[in-house]
Amino acid sequence: MYSKCMLCPRECKVNRANGEIGFCGASDKMEIGRASLHHWEEPSISGTNGSGTVFFAHCTLGCVYCQNRSISCRHSKSVFVDENKLSEIFLDLQQKNAHNINLVTAVHYTPSVCKAIDLAKQKGLYIPVLLNCGGYEKTETIKLFDKKIDIYLPDFKYYSGYYAEKYSNAVDYLEVCEKAIDEMVKQTGKPIFNKDGILQKGTVIRHLMLPNMLSDTKQVLRRIAENWGDNVLVSLMRQYTPFDMQNFPELNRKITDYEYNEGVEYFEMLGLSGYRQEGEAATESFIPEFNGEGIK
């Protein structure tokens, strides 16, 4: 699959196995920036022990406002790992009592990640495996994760193709995202929790509110309610923190209390279930340092 890469909707068709680089910037060798317990996910994912997050380098979206840009754009330290090493990282996180294995932006490494999951399960991995992604995924690629992923955590970033193109160079985001999430929900079914309230199976859709885009947020929430209703959980996020947004002055601020409260009110009116965030989430402290922790 790496020799003529069509894993994401960009369909670059480059030979990553031979050193050619497509939109995401990744080779066929997995790169990881951090593997650690993460306590800032949704309550049913982080729980009390933390989510066993593995942050992969590079990204197929490249959003101009990316909160993890230091790793998605390969500006910070990352480490090359093979499938066997990755499987050992999963088991180490399980040993640390992680509630789950949380694969952050891993879809461009799908063949290798699938092999690592299989290896880890053969070695005794039993906690749920979660795929945390930007929502701009090919349905055919998501199907490769069937029976390997227990929980999907996709973004649903935009309703408007104008915003999707301007900020993520993905004018077809809405159509692609909806088809991908359809497949995710088909695989997982309705959310299932254990006796401690920790999610074991299901799909949680995240929407990060952006400044001056309240109407787009409402359209996204409406589509989620119409398409999947109580088959999913929804996380309405207000943690947007602007970095170097001089070229996009409309994004050069945090969202206001008014904007978020309006989003929450619409969320509730639609009868959606899930999670909201407090104002203090919009700080740099919620963005982890990508320094190779947990990999060596």
Domains of the chain: 25-286 (3.20.20.70)
| Token pair for 107 | 């879809």
H/E/C letters for each residue in the chain?
CCCCCCCCCCCCCCCHHHCCCCCCCCCCCEEEEEEEEECCCCHHHHCCCCEEEEEECCCCCCCCCCCCHHHHCCCCCCEEECHHHHHHHHHHHHHCCCCCEEEECCHHHHHHHHHHHHHHHHCCCCCCEEEEECCCCCHHHHHCCCCCCCEEEEECCCCCHHHHHHHHCCCCHHHHHHHHHHHHHHHHCCCEECCCCCEEEEEEEEEECCCCCHHHHHHHHHHHHHHCHHHCEEEEECCCCCCCCCCCHHHCCCCCHHHHHHHHHHHHHCCCCEEECCHHHCCHHHCCCCCCCCCC
What is the model's pLDDT at position 102? 98
Averaged pLDDT of the chain: 92
What is the model's pLDDT at position 278? 72
**Residue 291 pLDDT > 60, yes or no?**
no
**Residue 236 pLDDT > 80, yes or no?**
yes
What is the model's pLDDT at position 129? 98
Phi, psi of 269 (to 5 degrees): -60, -35
Look at phi and psi of residue 153 and say left if phi exceeds 0, alpha if psi is from -120 to 50, else beta: beta
User: Mean pLDDT lowest for which of 76-80, 135-139, 175-179?
Assistant: 76-80
Give the mean model confidence (pLDDT) for residues 241-259. 93
What is the model's pLDDT at position 244? 84
| pLDDT confidence bin for 78, thresholds 50/70/90 | confident
**Residue 285 pLDDT > 50, yes or no?**
no
Residue 207 CB neighbours (<10 A): 23
Tens of pLDDT, residues 212-230: 999 999 999 999 999 999 9
Question: Is the CA virtual torsion 18, 79, 203, 154 positive or negative?
Answer: negative
The model's pTM: 0.94
**Residue 282 pLDDT > 70, yes or no?**
no
What is the model's pLDDT at position 284? 45
Letter for the amino acid at 219? Q
What is the model's pLDDT at position 296? 61
Tens of pLDDT, residues 113-159: 999 999 999 999 999 999 999 999 999 999 999 999 999 999 999 99
| Token pair for 57 | 């380098």
Q: What percent of the chain has pLDDT over 90?
A: 86
Tens of pLDDT, residues 184-199: 999 999 999 999 999 9
Half-sphere exposure of 97 (CA within 13 A, CB side): 5
| pLDDT confidence bin for 75, thresholds 50/70/90 | very low
**Residue 73 pLDDT > 70, yes or no?**
no
What is the model's pLDDT at position 243? 85
